[in-house]
């Protein structure tokens, strides 16, 4: 095996190790985001008018901030 091949194999091994170490954290983040998404959907279905007005307000504020630049 040449020098480049050895470096590639080492890099693959390092990436594999990193992937194994962060897999539990990634799953936890995925579960939390799913929970937040379900909560947001519930709030939008329960209070559609309030959510719409809030979205309009946030859009207006972001538009004002963006137009100043």
Q: Which band of pLDDT confidence, cut at 50, 70 and 90, is reported for residue 7?
A: confident
Query: pLDDT tens-digit profile of 13-35?
Result: 888 889 899 999 999 999 999 99
Task: Give the span between the Cα atoms of 67 and 60, in whole angstroms.
Answer: 11
Measured at the alpha carbon of residue 28, what is the angle toward residues 24 and 32, in degrees to the nearest 5? 170
Q: Which band of pLDDT confidence, cut at 50, 70 and 90, is reported for residue 3?
A: low
Tell the burial category of 59 from Cβ atoms under 10 Å away from its Cβ (0-12, 13-18, 19+).
exposed
Helix intervals (H) in the chain = 3-46, 48-67
Q: Which band of pLDDT confidence, cut at 50, 70 and 90, is reported for residue 1?
A: low
pTM, two decimal places: 0.59
6 vs 45, more confident: 45
């Amino acid at each position: 095996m040449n020098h480049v091949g050895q470096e590639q194999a080492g890099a693959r091994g390092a990436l594999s190790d990193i992937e194994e170490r962060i897999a539990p954290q990634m799953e936890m983040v995925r579960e939390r985001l799913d929970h937040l998404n379900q909560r947001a959907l519930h709030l939008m279905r329960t209070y559609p008018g309030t959510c719409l007005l809030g979205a309009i307000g946030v859009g207006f504020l972001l538009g004002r901030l963006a137009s100043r630049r």
